[in-house]
Structures are given as C-alpha cells and as structure tokens.
Chains A and B, each alone.
Chain A
Amino acid sequence: METAKADIVQRLRKEILQLQGIPSALPASVESFGLGPINAAFPGKTFPLAAVHEFIMQQPEAAAASSAFVMALVGKILPKGASAVWISAQRKIFPPALKSYGISPEQFIFIGLKKDKEIQWAMEEALKCKGLGIVLAEMQELDFTSSRRLQLAVEKSRVTGFVFRNNPRSINTNACFTRWQISALPALLPPGLPGVGYPRWKIELLKVRNGIPGSWELSFVNGQFRHAIKTPVMPLHAKQKTG
C-alpha cells in the first residue's frame, strides 16, 4: 500500500515537471558534467538542458568568470561538429582561448547586433532552430515577456540557451530556468610556489525553478570541474617552466 502510494507520488511529480516545461531526466551517459554537488540543486538531479540559464554580472572580471564557467559547460554539452551561436552587442571573446575549454572556435558563429530588442529577437529565432547546439546572448535587460518567449522556444526545440546580463539596472523576475552569479576566487597554490594556479570560482545559484539554490566553490582543472581540493595542484604550464 505504502509503496504504491510512493509510486503514484513519484509519477505525479514527474508529470508536474513535464507540464512545467522542465526537461525530464537525461540519459545517464551525459548527466552531471562533473558538476558534483551542484547537481543536487536541480530538479531531476542533472544540469537542465533545453532551458534558458541567466547569468548576472557587474564587472568585466565577473563577466570573464561567467563566460569561462559557461564555456566549460558548453565544452561538455556541445556535440563535436555542432554549431553554436553567440549574439552580442560587442564581441569580447578571444577566439583562440576557446580551444582550452574543449571547444573548436569555428563552431561558434558570432552575431553582432546593437539593441537589446534585436538581440532578444535574434536569440528567440536561434532558439527555435533545432539544428543548433547552444545559443548564447549578451544583453542588459530581459523582461518577463521576452524571457517567457525564450523559454517557450526552448521547450519546443530542446536547445540550451544562456543569457549573460551585463550590468543590469534591476534584477527583475523573469521566466529563465536558473539565475547564476559567478565570481573569481584566488587559486589554491601552496604558499611560495611561483605562477598562477588553475581558475577557481564562487558559483552562486540565486534561483532555480523547482530546485534548491545554493553557493559552491569550484575549480576548473584541465577541462574538468573539481570541488573542495585539499591538495593544491600545480598548473601544467608552471610545471613546464620550472623544469
């Protein structure tokens, strides 16, 4: 009796998630992306693809950190040979750097548009495109209606979208699936060791639909995420230098 009840509850939960446009659990092979404990924050315990993720950033340094975190994820999500679109008012990305995130820079098509409205329209059009792997867009403001349109496009096409909001005037409510804020943290290196360590970020998940927001510290070492590193690691290029 008890187990039957639990089953029903489980099934109903799943149905509710589907009705809310939240993607059902992904095949086991692609899940997690090495995000470790962060996965527990999401409904279904996996990073939600086919959703729009919003990143808030105030300074250029935070923008670089957010881009890096997203690029690290994209490097795992984007299938080889698939195309991605990056829509922005001003391109800041240095294409050769993408290679170190496991992305071939020519997979990206950069579209330069001037106004937020144009960027939102172009992003919606791109998100409707089933042939695309990832769509990224940089904009300042994103109101509820526009974000709802993006979310609806995504639910149909199953493309993953990322919105970078540079210096937004207000952090308003919108229909994006998650809201993140990424900032840089000093790298972990034994004291006295020369060089700069691997990038380390403070990942703040401010909002997630049907999940548990939280804050984590995460390093990115040779293309893999790492949590709570006890023994600091020396970066590869520092090793080469010291001999």
Chain B
Amino acid sequence: MSRRYVSIWLRHFKTDTYTRCYPHVKNIPFVLAAPDHGRLRVTAANLLAQSGAVQEAMVVADARAYIPGIEVIPEEEGRAEKSLQSLAEWFIRFSPVVAADPPDGLLIDATGCAHLWGGEKAYLTAMYKRLAAFGYHARPAMADTIGAAWAVARFGTKLIVPEGEQYTVLSLLPSQALRLSDDIVFLLQKLGLHSIKNFIDIAPASLHRRFGPELTHRLKQALGTAEEQLTPASVPVEYQERLPCLQTIVTAKGIEIALSALTETLCNKLKKDGKGLRRLVLYCYRVDGKILNIAIGTNRPTQHAAHLLKLFEPKIESIEPGLGIELFVLEAPLVEDCTIVQEELWQNNAMAGSQELAELLDRISGKIPSARIERFLPDAHHWPENSYRAASFVYEKSNIPWPQSRPRPLHILATPSPIQVTAPIPDYPPMLFRHQSQLHRIARADGPERIAQEWWLQDGEHRDYYYVEDEEGKRYWIFRLGHYDPEKNNQWFLHGYFA
C-alpha cells in the first residue's frame, strides 16, 4: 500500500487564532502588528482588512490610511507557534502521526486512515468542517507525498491527488509550490521558469549544477523518489516534574537530593489523583546540551517514594554529570489506577504482604535485569507441556482449576530425554531402561496413561505414559511415542521424576 499524506493550509492562521480567542473582533477589520526598524509593520491581516487592500508586510500607518479606524493588535511572539503545536496535538483524532508545519500548516500521515471516515473525500471534508467550526480557513489536500500534498493545498484546484499521479498534477503548478527558498524562486522567475512543467524533465544533475541541491531535493520529495519524514507533535506526559538548578549539580549526592525532591512531589500528585506509576524516567539535562536518562519499572502501580528511590539508587552511579547538570525532569510515562493501602492498619494482612512482595520483585529485576520472574496458572490443555502457562502479570488470577485427577511428577525435564528400554509384551511397562548409560531395573509400574496429541494445535503421535519405580525405589515418568509396532522401533523417553 502506498503512503498517503494530508497537508492542511490554514490561510489566515494568525488572525483566525486571534479571533478564536477574542470573538469580539470577528466582524471588524484588524491587523496584527510587530515593531520593525522603529515602526509598526503588519504581520497578519484578517479577511475584512484584506478586502480593504491591507496587505501583510505593510506599514501600519499605510494600513490606517486605507481603512481608517482599523484595529491594530500587537502580536505576541511565539503565540502562533504554540497554538499551531496544540492544534497539531489535538489533530491526533484524525491520525496518530500529525506534525505542525509552521508557519501556517499541518502535515498528517493519513496512510490507512481515510476509510474510517468513508473515503478520502469524506475524510478531508470532516477535517475541513472541524476546522471551519473553530473559525479557521482551511484547505486540506491529499497526495502520495508530503511535497505534493503541500503544493496542492496551496496552489492546486483539485484537492485529492490520485495514487501515483503527482507528476501530472505537479507539472501544472507554479514553481513556488515546491517549498523553495525565496532566492531560488526569484532565480527561476528570472530565467522564465514560472511553472514546474518548465523544468521537471531537466536532468537532475543539470538542475543541481545551476540551482544547488535544494531544488532537486524538493522536486524528488514531491515526486516521491526521496524519503521525507514527519516529526510528530509529541504527546505531553501528564505526570512530570521539573527541577531547574541555579548552580549546576556534579555530585552523586546532589543528584540523589534532586531525585528525592522530585519523587516526593510526583508521589504526592499521584496520591491526590489516586494513581500509581509503573515506569519512571529521570532525564538530566547537562550544561553541554546532552540529555542523560535512567529508568526504572515496577510490577504494580506504586506511589511509594521511598521504594522508588531505592530502585533508583544503584543507577545513580551511571550518570556522568560532566560539567554539571542544570535541569532534572522526572517523568512517569506509564500510570495506572491504584488503591491506597492503609499500611499501618493492615500490616499483617495479605494485601500489605503482596505490596512488600511487589517491592522485592522490583528490587530483583532492577538489580538483575536478566532475572526471569514467573508465576504459573492452569491452562485448558491436557498435553503436559501445555497444561500450565505463565501469568501475564504477577497478580493475574485464573478461573479454571488445576487438574488433579492423575499423578504427575514433581520434577519435569524441559525436553523429554531418550531412553533405551526392554519391554516384554506390547503395551506392557518395560522391564528395564537405560538413561545416560545407567541401568534401572523396574520393580513396579503403573499405566499406561495415554495422552493424545492436541490435533487441533499440533501434529505428531500420542504418548503412553508409565509411572515406574526401580529396585532402589526411585520413581520415574516415562513414555512411548505412538502405538507399539514390531516393524519400527518405538522410541521411549524419560519425562520426569516422581517424589
């Protein structure tokens, strides 16, 4: 399946955002202005102002001459970027990968998303309607590449480029549609290359020589021969604590103090919300711009600061402070609901015990990451190897009982070990068997117990199990694979040891 991208052009993004916050300017012409070389210059004008011939980059005095009494609003720096970012984050409802495309657009990876809205057209319409309800003037366009979608959103007439047709669509558009810097656009204009079709067929090497790498790269991106990545708008972590330091921290003790302060506040916050954390990451921002991190995980949601500190303790050494750490950020990316245990009251209760156990398991898996921690629950299979399963989490409960009808060995071999046997009559237990060059004479036996293959899961022959005791009183679980057959030699196996 080819990839599909949506680019949205928010034509009057700055003024629309302002109108969204302050609806009283909706029906009057206004401009946003910022000081530039000692005068006020228009940075954005709303539709009403534009219809009165007020343009972007105009000096405010000129704008006042065109429209007397025009509202002039000083622009806050960084406000547009912020609102674009939050709009991108909100746009996750349409696709998991959304990126802000400053100054006035959004980019969306819509691969495999459109059918959920009943087709590409309906998908774009839904986006348009949503944005229009917010008061934005939006032009969404869809294509196979980010470049083509961007171009069509701003310069195209038909907003959906069918799969693989970006070449034909792009050749009709002006050269500005390629996201080029002003210098290159100017140069192209000067040479009479007004439209993409004028140079789309020129060999890339010649274009590269004349215009530099940017033009060929943008052209390739728009045609889909060069890769382009989106940087998705990050989802903020809800439980995060920051600790900026006036003086840089260089000692392990300092890190420990910072960590304990952060954990304390984070745990208080979690307690207030009735949540517990499962993962905790500490980011250390160093003076030289490097970001170090250490992470811990817990087996059950916890808000117990002392326990978390204990888990972090052995990892603090691994942080190299270098020239010093100026900012600590503690993040809990995985948070679950958690009931608070009244520890004092229930000290001897099983609940408090399991809390202690969880902390023990955290300590072990924190110190020895290769530790396998397992708990077993019955599984609805009669084949011995499949008759139990590992619990997916430590506190899982099973709703089927353990089978108890037949004797089962206490120790089992992970894979049955082949043995040589001497059996007197078909389907009788053997008289003796040899395992790892040791001879065992069988004194007593019980069986056979036939365990058939679970044919709906796996192929193979059934097993006839015997519970045997040798002359010394050692007890084994052995089996023959398949029916007795004088023609072929049946293979026997040792599978376990009884008490």
Contacts and interface: CB of A to CB of B under 8 A. Distances in A.
Query: Does A pair with B?
Result: yes
Interface string B340-370: 0000000000101111110011011001101
B374 A109 contact: yes
A184 B375 contact: no
A216 to B, nearest CB: 15
Which residue, A96, A126, A199, has most C-beta atoms of chain B within 10 A? A96
Contact of B499 (A65, A114, A186): A65
B425 to A, nearest CB: 15
A96 B446 contact: no
Given A94-B411, A129-B360, A199-B475, A111 B372 contact: yes
Given A113-B368, A131-B357, A94 B375 contact: no
A152 interface: no
A187 interface: yes
B375 A108 contact: yes
19 contacts: A64-B411, A67-B411, A67-B499, A82-B350, A83-B353, A91-B374, A96-B408, A97-B410, A100-B408, A111-B361, A111-B372, A184-B473, A184-B499, A186-B472, A187-B444, A196-B445, A196-B468, A199-B499, A200-B473
Interface in A194-243: 194-197, 199-201, 220, 237-238, 241
A130 interface: yes
Residue with the greatest number of chain A CB neighbours at <10 A, chosen from B370, B371, B410, B444: B410
B471 interface: yes
B412 A94 contact: yes
B306 to A, nearest CB: 15
Contact of A129 (B357, B387, B468): B357
Contact of B402 (A61, A96, A118): A96
A95 B474 contact: no
A165 to B, nearest CB: 16
Interface of A: 60-61, 63-65, 67-69, 71, 81-83, 85, 90-100, 104-106, 108-114, 118, 121-122, 125-126, 129-132, 184-187, 189, 194-197, 199-201, 220, 237-238, 241
Nearest to B391: A106
A145 B486 CA distance: 60
A131 B355 contact: yes
A236 to B, nearest CB: 9
Interface residues of B, number: 57
Contacts of A92: 411-413
Contacts of B467: 196
B384 to A, nearest CB: 8
A96 B407 contact: no
Interface of chain A: mostly helix, strand, loop or mixed = mixed
Given A92-B412, A111-B373, 7 more contacts: A63-B497, A64-B410, A64-B498, A83-B357, A95-B388, A99-B402, A106-B391
Main secondary structure of the interface of B (DSSP, over half): mixed
Interface of B: 350, 352-357, 360-361, 363-364, 367-368, 370-378, 384, 387-388, 391, 394, 397-398, 402-404, 406-414, 443-446, 467-469, 471-475, 496-499
Contacts of A195: 444-446
Contacts of B361: 109, 111
A197 B445 CA distance: 9
B273 to A, nearest CB: 26
A194 B466 CA distance: 13
Contacts of A121: 367
Contacts of B370: 113-114
Contact of B388 (A68, A104, A105): A105
A2 to B, nearest CB: 43
A129 B443 CA distance: 46
Contacts of A108: 375-376
Q: State the 8 A-B residue pairs at the shortest beta-carbon distance, nearest first.
A: A131-B353, A68-B499, A112-B372, A131-B356, A64-B497, A186-B473, A94-B412, A95-B376
Contacts of B402: 96, 99, 104-105
A131 B354 contact: yes
Contacts of B374: 91, 109-112
A112 B374 CA distance: 8
With a 10 A CB-CB cut-off, give which of A97, A132, A201 has the most chain B CB atoms: A97
Given A83-B357, A196-B444, A196-B445, A109 B410 contact: no
Given A109-B373, A186-B469, A60 B353 contact: no
A64 B499 contact: yes
Given A82-B353, A131-B354, A199 B498 contact: yes
Contacts of A71: 410
Given A111-B373, A196-B446, A185 B473 contact: yes
A6 B444 CA distance: 54
A65 B409 CA distance: 11
Contacts of A185: 473
A208 B397 CA distance: 40
A187 B499 contact: no
Contacts of A129: 356-357, 360
A130 B373 contact: no
Contacts of B375: 106, 108-110
Contacts of B414: 90
B378 A96 contact: yes
A237 B398 contact: no
A37 to B, nearest CB: 21
Nearest to A135: B360
Contact of A184 (B353, B373, B404, B475): B475
Given A94-B411, A112-B374, A186-B473, A238 B446 contact: yes
Nearest to B364: A122
Nearest to B408: A97
